[in-house]
Amino acid sequence: MSSVLLTLFSELADPRRDQGKMYPLAPILLFTVLAMLAGARSYRQVHAFIQTHLDRLNSGFGLSLRRAPAYSSVRFILRGLDAAEIERAFRAHAAGLADAPAEGTSVPAAVAIDGKTLRGSFDAFHDRKAAHLLSAFAADGQIILGHLAIAEKSNEIPAAQEMIASLGLTGRLFTLDAMHCQKNI
């Protein structure tokens, strides 16, 4: 599973200049994801995770990093990435994990789509409303297939239709909130 993610990360465009690159992009991104799954919430914690587990990470993924990148290097790498490109890589990985509906079954695989407002995301100083995010969850594979930020002047209905189309989900059973039960959709 992680080696697939490493392959997907290797296809991303590296925002850094060629001069002075000490660390390849794909392993640093994979190690950052693993650090976050292990509870890292800051660049320093990501650095500490990589430093502590470097030998195990190198042997597990066939790499030969000599040392962990400094927390400032991790920050520089992550801040230079294109968010849409990272989202595409994660969606490709999730699509590979989500099983297609089995042939001959009477009930198709279920996908739950729901929107949530992110707590504490409003900004009264800049007059910004709280961020609203729509998520698609494959119940059979127990994996999030994708996220979509809902525009301030929109709602979940067009965003859900856009998400279903962009993920290419067909032959599935969808569960959504009651607001999606409208005649004209």
| Mean per-residue pLDDT of the chain | 82
The pLDDT of 140-144, averaged and rounded, is 76
Tokens 């699509």 -> residue: 95
Among residues 46, 52, 56, which one has the least CA distance to residue 76? Answer: 46
Q: Is residue 31 within 8 Å of residue 44, measured between CB atoms?
A: no
Residue 38 has pLDDT above 90, yes or no: yes
pLDDT of residue 97: 66
Instruction: Specify whether the CB–CB gap between 27 and 61 falls below 8 A.
Output: yes
Q: Over range 7-21, report the average pLDDT.
A: 84
Per-residue pLDDT, 27: 92
Predicted confidence at residue 84, as pLDDT, reads 86
**52/159 Cα distance (integer angstroms):** 42
What angle do the packed helices 43-61 and 25-37 form, to 10 degrees?
110
Mark out the alpha helices in the chain (DSSP H runs): 2-10, 25-37, 43-61, 71-79, 83-97, 156-167
What pLDDT shows up at residue 161?
Answer: 85
Checking if the pLDDT of 21 tops 70, the result is yes
Using one digit for the tens of pLDDT, what is the confidence trace for 50-81? 999 999 999 988 888 899 999 999 999 999 89
Report CA Rg, the chain: 19
Whether the predicted pLDDT of 179 surpasses 60: yes
The predicted pLDDT at position 185 comes to 62
> Which pLDDT value is given to residue 162?
85
Which is more confidently placed, 184 or 108?
A: 184
What are the φ/ψ torsions at residue 149 (nearest 5 degrees)?
Answer: -75, 130
pLDDT attached to residue 148: 84
pLDDT tens per residue across span 96-140: 765 544 555 555 578 888 888 887 777 767 777 778 888 888 877
Q: What is the pLDDT of residue 54?
A: 93
Return the pLDDT at 138. Answer: 82
